[in-house]
Structure 1
Amino acid sequence: SAQDVTIDNYSVNSFGQVQLSIQAQEGKYYVLHAQHSSTFNWATSMAIGVSGTMVISEPAEAYPLEKYSITEHDISNPEDYDGDGIDDITEFNNMPTDSPFNFADPIDISDGSTSIPDEETFMTLATVNNVGWAPFLDDQLYVKFGILDRDTPEPKVYFINSNTYTIHASFWNGIDATVDGDDSSGEIVFNPSVILPSGVVGTYSFNFSFGDAKNFEATQKTYELLVASMPFLQNNINHFIGQNDEDSHLDNYAADFEGSRIEVVLESDVFAEINYIPFHEAEGYGFFKHMQDLNDTPGSRDIVLYDALPNSLPRVGGIITSVIQTPLSHVNLRAIQDNVPNAYIANPLDNDEIANLLGGYIYYKVENEQFEIREATLSEVNEWYEDLRPTEPQIPVRDLSITEILPLDEINFEMSSSFGAKCSNVATMRTFDLPSGTIPDGFGIPFYYYDEFMQFNNFYEEVQVMIDNSAFQNDINFRIQRLKDLRRDIKSAPMPQWMLDDLQSMHDDFPEGTAVRCRSSTNNEDLPGFSGAGLYTSKTQYLDEGHISKSIKQVYASMWNFRAYEERDFYRVDHFMAAMGLLCHTNFQNEQSNGVGISIDPIYETEDTFYLNTQVGESLITNPDPNSVPEEILLYEDPLQGGGYLVLRLSNLVNPGELVMDQVYLDQLRDFLTVIHDEFSILYGVEGAEGFGVDIEYKVTAQDLLIIKQARPWVSFWANVNADNDLGVTAIVAPQSSSSLGNSELVTATIANQGLNDISAFELELMVDGEFVESITTPQTIQPFDEADFQFSTPQDFSITGDYSVTVSVSHPADEYENNDTLNIVL
């Protein structure tokens, strides 16, 4: 028989759930009861006993201690709490078919369930189905529920398979239920993009049918019965009321909900018109241009407005789209890489304050809750861009010492200076502990071949003449056409015979009947702080296209794509040291799905998760069709957490409620991303660095094989990297402004290594009110992404009340970026 148990300790966890400590025993199980009202006591959770101190919780918000009681029961002789003829232990072990606190008879999962023990079960039952009678459910993921005999001692709770049944009546007929009065029916909606202050990602909202408002007693009974059979909840479910019944709730019932543990949300608040989504928070200046023709090419100082997403984008000053983007679209990756503002704004030209600024210079700022657009002066624009550009020419590393095409298995990570990071990263992943076939096999063509081809045809000389032309420098349309002419010349130019022979030999080594994918791999893409996404062109050599040199030259020509040239020019990259390598592997056709994954969660910034965007077949994530909605998933590092993954958004190209990728591929991706992240963090020398991630592209092939086809550093981690060697003064930490400063204050400054290489033996200089005070030369080494404080030894007299100008500078002969070398504050 049941025995009452003493509660030793009461506390509340970070999710707001109760934690009750008891002294437990093995061979026992424990039931937590809550006194919800004077007439309503119900079991809220059940736990199997362990020997010693044990903590029991429940799915909803904590009540005060006096509301709880705990009973102890024998596992060998279990009770039947709900009186349905099946004992508690049997039902506990048989969820979701059964539930120990639910009088409902078991039903087949194709019809529904009597409990939802985990998120996986919710996903099995859930659907996206737009219905005319409840517009607030449109495009939402939800599970229907029904409760019979709600207000009797034997309530029966059903979670309906909403893929099988569109309306409640069909479900009742399907299970042959006798309905004498449907006491409660409605839906439970999943809100994947909501992150609670507690850190819980994703919330649930239950509503009565049609969004009706009911009195507190009916709502409370429904809420508590649902929650008792949803043990996976983390105090993350609320009650939704439709707009048509909001006044009824506010006028008649709202006061009764105050002080309860039921959070009420109103449709007018939840579904206020979404007219703004910030994708990358930043600010910028530029010429405001409406890009009505996707074939037009903007300049690097343009702030562009698009009504459809372009397939590629050069460097621009800022981005506005009137269509919703994806976080991993090329457009947003460019915004992140270049740290320019990017947002979706609904119908922006309907706003005269925006429309009237077209064709002029503007200031544009994207923030989390709002954006700012105002007129700007040409002098503001010029000053802004001069500060952004590197102060010195950038010389990309180009090693021409490797003069042969090599199999990927003979290329290592350090060979990126000869083959490009894309090629060397794929080759390097073939050495990781990944299943055979996960990483494509193939060949790398080194920079040497590109350089020899350019010299053989005197293209370097042609490029020099082109760049020196004043029309090329000052007329964007002339520059676009002249680069197009150069690309045409490269595609039609001859290759030396030895090069043709080497390429043919490589091509012959692929299996007969294989189409070969020839992918760009330059020395200025897929690098820390510079992804190069969308700049260069890859080509497939199909079986009927003759010599593979055709595709190789097409890729070489893309070195001179307008957007690539503009990018290098803005960053002062030496065009003559830029080089094109190639990664060649078997082409994949008719894949089941493709996607992009990040070995962290850079979008919602959750911990211990991987971020995935996946779409069906060959529908691209990076350049999505305007009507294509990809599947968005947070993959837990721990496969036992929350069923292993959290679906944030379903693809609109599969059946409602379906996932694009089967569970087996999600489990594989978890393992692959873990290995890839750990290995590359070692190779890049950033082990344990906060924010480091690896961006991968993956496919599930027609042969059911999960392929990783690319890996590169996640761009935002390196967004503030302006040069390989870069020290900056980031703060003057002492003294702080105060009315009590004395006549012997010491100045301390923070110096950060914002580059990619170790830097030591640098000099610091202190000036106060424009007068030189002291310089320090220190032998200390600061590693990339690290910082250190340095104190000057000359005391300063700040005892007289007033303002003091304090300036600290850092210098080093190898420092390649000057704009952060000096910091001035007013003390």
Structure 2
Amino acid sequence: MKNQNNARPVGASCFQNNSVTAFCVAAAIAMLAALPAAAQLARKPSYYQQQNQPQPEGPAAQLVPRPAVPSSLPALRSQADFDQLARVYDAGTPMQLAHVLFVIDRQAKPPRMYYIDTPRYQLHVRFLRDTRLAPSTVKREIDRNYLVPDRRFLFGTLSWQQNIGSFTYEFWEGDKLTAPLLRQAEQQVRASFFGPVKFKTNSTLHERVAKETGIDFVSQEALIREQPFLPMNLGTATGRVRIVDDDAGINALLPDDIAVLRQVPIGLPPVAAVLTERPSTALSHVNLLAKGWGIPNAYVRDAAAVLKEHAGQWVALKVASSGYQVRRLTPEEVAALPPRAVRTAAAGAVPGSSRAIKPDLRENRLLPLASLRARNSAQCGVKAANLGAMQAAHIPGTSVPDGFCIPFAHYDRFMRANGLADRIARMQQQPGFASDPKVRQKALAQLRDEIVQWPVDAATAAGWRAAWQSQLGGGGVFVRSSSNSEDLPGFSGAGLYTTVPNVKTGDALEVAVEKVWASVFNPEAWEARTAAGFGAESVLMGVFVQTAIDSANAGVMITRDPFDAGHPHITYISAKRGIGIRVVEGRRVAEQVMYSSWSKAIQVLSRSAEDTALQLDKDGGVKEVPVEAGRNVLTDDLVVRLASVGAAVKRTFNGVDQDIEWATVGDRIVLLQARPYVERRR
């Protein structure tokens, strides 16, 4: 990337002497058809995804006339043959994908291969229709060629995978491929193609069939690992590039910074955009925060080195499905930027999010899980109320660990007794508090330290211990936040507040509640709320004390495709062995899959390679234990069950897409949290 004012995608060759070549015009047209999901999945969009995609028409389609080519070829005997029939997605970008559709007519004697003029026909069915190869192209007949073993046709795609330097052939992820069908495809492709080629699997079914036949394959997961760029949240931003090497740099970030992160942190203050040097899951706290703030967010290989020349400079950033662009602002553009306060307000404002739930401070009782419903969000927060609603829904095959809510009134009484409002006012009046994040962090840390030292009313603490003993049997518990400023439709608050795991004594319970209360003043929580328009005085913390479970696996799922909102039939699931704390922290990549309730396909984005997991410690807290490396966390059966449970949870909350924390204990799926899935773009 050169230091110039022309926007330039990384890896592009289209900008030569500040001019745009004819090839690049054609490439730009091709890029219009790109889909975010295709970029994430390192594959050509499927037949079904493409059938409604608009195609270039009119003068734009005629900018680069194509030479006359045959409608198909029985073999590709050279690179030139491949090139003349290929369609190219995202040309000149890290996501470039040149591919040729093919059809194998199994009814012909001998079976016949057709490599299709892909720019002309776009879809297999169009080729069949226009060449009159098939007597019927009605949907029911075409579907048979994806779903049944005795089909007439095999519909596939042969692609050049630039990130691994190899040709691959593949089938739609929902194709019910069998071993005999794959053997036939392997024989036909190898006999008719000029170079080495590997089978590419697009589902767990395809992987099993490939292993059964002994055919060498490359997995979707392996290709994703080699991608130099992964868009997590699309959008544009203007800001100053800040390369961050450690936690101190994280804490110093400002709302108008474009953060280039060497590591994926657990928390992050509001910023203008995020580029990470290490890939993470779609449900890491950083990615959820970025989606909630509506800011561009992407993984870029060697991001710090690539963007080093822009460090400290004002730039315009665009993250698209096919790549990203960085343009240095001119001095005139920098001078014309609005004041920081205006930029910060525009970046952080989330419609409706500044309306924290109005607390009902009349309720002083400790409310058991069984009594909680949506109406109790005014006393206990949305997190606790949603847990009660999920338990009441009686979703088959699931449970919610028992617990009780310490309502907002306890927090309010405690803070009033210790003069919190005056302390906050004095803190905010400190020199530099409003302008210097380091000053804020120091002041907030001092306040948190004070809060956990303030004594709790003896009768109140005794009530907590009594409920813990009588309702939960005095066993280990997780002490969790449930404030009036999280899990809201426009503000998730993911990762902002503290959870204290596996508390096992009455004294430790009292301290844990105070730690959760004090986490209202975590720096990332303060910054995120300020950006979203929450006043400090409007935030109250409820606490949910919940039975600790020692799960075999745990994770998070979203009831839609987080990469493409147009795929509501998708469930995205991330998982790790043991307790699920690490799934959302973002420092280690979890196992990730996507399940389609429509195609019934399970697509693997990543497998967990960890050799340790977190489990409950008998003395309290959690411990790291060794586990068998290389074993899959998610079985196909568990994925399908989780997707069904996710759909039921979504119905419980009136059809609103949900971000759900889950775990497994034996054969049972345990539900630990459900919040609205928040996504914005700007």
TM-score, length-scaled by structure 2: 0.65
Mapped pair 1:660 → 2:633: yes
Mapped pair 1:475 → 2:428: no
Counterpart selection for 1:454 from 415, 426, 433: 415
Match of 1:527 in 2: 488
Q: Is the 8 A contact 1:456 1:495 kept in 2?
A: no
SS at match of 1:665: helix
Where in structure 2 are the equivalents of 1:83-102 lying within 5 Å?
none
Counterpart selection for 1:278 from 231, 235, 238: 231
Change in 2 beyond 3 A, CA 1:211/1:305: farther
Unaligned runs of 5+ in 1: 1-12, 18-31, 45-57, 71-94, 103-116, 118-134, 141-186, 224-228, 234-238, 243-269, 682-686, 722-827
Counterpart selection for 1:350 from 281, 305, 315: 305
Mapped pair 1:606 → 2:579: no
- Measured in 1, the distance between the counterparts of 2:297 and 2:676 equals 21
SS at match of 2:393: coil
Aligned residue identity for 2:395: L
Counterpart selection for 1:299 from 231, 249, 254: 254
Change in 2 beyond 3 A, CA 1:360/1:669: same
Q: Is the 8 A contact 1:320 1:344 kept in 2?
A: yes
Mapped pair 1:709 → 2:672: yes
Mapped pair 1:696 → 2:655: no
Match of 1:624 in 2: 586
Change in 2 beyond 3 A, CA 1:478/1:597: same
Mapped pair 1:633 → 2:594: yes
Identity level (%): 22
1:699-749 deviation line (CA, Å, top 9, x unaligned)? 112x44210100011102xx389xxxxxxxxxxxxxxxxxxxxxxxxxxxx
- Measured in 2, the distance between the counterparts of 1:358 and 1:598 equals 35
Match of 1:679 in 2: 652
Q: Is the 8 A contact 1:442 1:583 kept in 2?
A: yes
- Measured in 1, the distance between the counterparts of 2:165 and 2:384 equals 41
Counterpart selection for 2:365 from 380, 397, 404: 404
- Measured in 2, the distance between the counterparts of 1:613 and 1:316 equals 25
Match of 1:427 in 2: 388
SS at match of 2:433: helix
User: What is the total number of aligned residue pairs between the two structures?
Assistant: 516
Counterpart selection for 2:552 from 592, 603, 606: 592
Q: Is the 8 A contact 1:529 1:720 kept in 2?
A: no
Match of 1:380 in 2: 337
- Measured in 2, the distance between the counterparts of 1:335 and 1:378 equals 27
Taking CA–CA contacts closer than 8 Å with sequence separation of 6 or more, which of the two structures ends up with the larger relative contact order? 2
Aligned residue identity for 1:285: T
Aligned residue identity for 2:388: A
Where in structure 2 are the equivalents of 1:561-580 lying within 5 Å?
561-580=522-541
Change in 2 beyond 3 A, CA 1:68/1:339: closer
- Measured in 2, the distance between the counterparts of 1:425 and 1:301 equals 34
Match of 1:310 in 2: 265
Aligned residue identity for 2:527: E
Shift of the alpha carbon at 1:216?
2.8
Match of 1:371 in 2: 324
Q: Is the 8 A contact 1:633 1:649 kept in 2?
A: no
1:24-76 deviation line (CA, Å, top 9, x unaligned)? xxxxxxxx98564xx625899xxxxxxxxxxxxx9997487775699xxxxxx
Q: Is the 8 A contact 1:528 1:713 kept in 2?
A: yes
Larger proportion of helix: 2
Q: Is the 8 A contact 2:553 2:578 kept in 1?
A: yes
SS at match of 1:356: helix
- Measured in 1, the distance between the counterparts of 2:583 and 2:416 equals 38
Where in structure 2 are the equivalents of 1:222-233 lying within 5 Å?
none
SS at match of 1:633: strand
SS at match of 2:455: coil
Mapped pair 1:40 → 2:110: yes
- Measured in 1, the distance between the counterparts of 2:261 and 2:327 equals 19
Change in 2 beyond 3 A, CA 1:699/1:217: closer
1:621-679 deviation line (CA, Å, top 9, x unaligned)? 212344x4413131x336xx53x644444333598996423444334323322221112
- Measured in 1, the distance between the counterparts of 2:151 and 2:326 equals 57
- Measured in 1, the distance between the counterparts of 2:499 and 2:217 equals 52
SS at match of 1:380: coil
Q: Is the 8 A contact 2:266 2:587 kept in 1?
A: no
How much is the aligned-residue C-alpha RMSD, in angstroms? 4.9
Match of 2:607 in 1: 650
Q: Is the 8 A contact 1:309 1:325 kept in 2?
A: yes
Mapped pair 1:329 → 2:284: yes
- Measured in 2, the distance between the counterparts of 1:358 and 1:137 equals 28
- Measured in 2, the distance between the counterparts of 1:430 and 1:35 equals 54
Change in 2 beyond 3 A, CA 1:393/1:466: farther
- Measured in 2, the distance between the counterparts of 1:283 and 1:329 equals 21
Q: Is the 8 A contact 2:240 2:313 kept in 1?
A: yes
- Measured in 2, the distance between the counterparts of 1:615 and 1:466 equals 41
Q: Please say which structure displays the higher CA radius of gyration.
A: 1
Q: Is the 8 A contact 1:504 1:547 kept in 2?
A: no
Change in 2 beyond 3 A, CA 1:293/1:368: same
Where in structure 2 are the equivalents of 1:79-228 lying within 5 Å?
216=192
- Measured in 1, the distance between the counterparts of 2:226 and 2:321 equals 16
SS at match of 2:491: coil
Q: Is the 8 A contact 2:602 2:636 kept in 1?
A: no
Aligned residue identity for 1:651: S
SS at match of 1:431: helix
Match of 1:180 in 2: none
SS at match of 1:533: coil
Change in 2 beyond 3 A, CA 1:66/1:299: closer
SS at match of 1:304: strand
Change in 2 beyond 3 A, CA 1:393/1:304: closer
Match of 1:320 in 2: 275
Change in 2 beyond 3 A, CA 1:362/1:69: closer
- Measured in 1, the distance between the counterparts of 2:49 and 2:238 equals 43
Say which is worse superposed, 570-579 or 281-290, in terms of deviation: 281-290
Q: Is the 8 A contact 2:555 2:575 kept in 1?
A: yes
1:542-599 deviation line (CA, Å, top 9, x unaligned)? 325725211000000100001111122222312112000011111122x221111112
- Measured in 2, the distance between the counterparts of 1:137 and 1:289 equals 28
- Measured in 1, the distance between the counterparts of 2:354 and 2:112 equals 70
1:137-163 deviation line (CA, Å, top 9, x unaligned)? 9899xxxxxxxxxxxxxxxxxxxxxxx
SS at match of 1:473: coil
Q: Is the 8 A contact 1:286 1:381 kept in 2?
A: no
Unaligned runs of 5+ in 2: 1-46, 52-103, 115-123, 137-146, 155-160, 200-204, 210-214, 612-627
Match of 1:505 in 2: 466
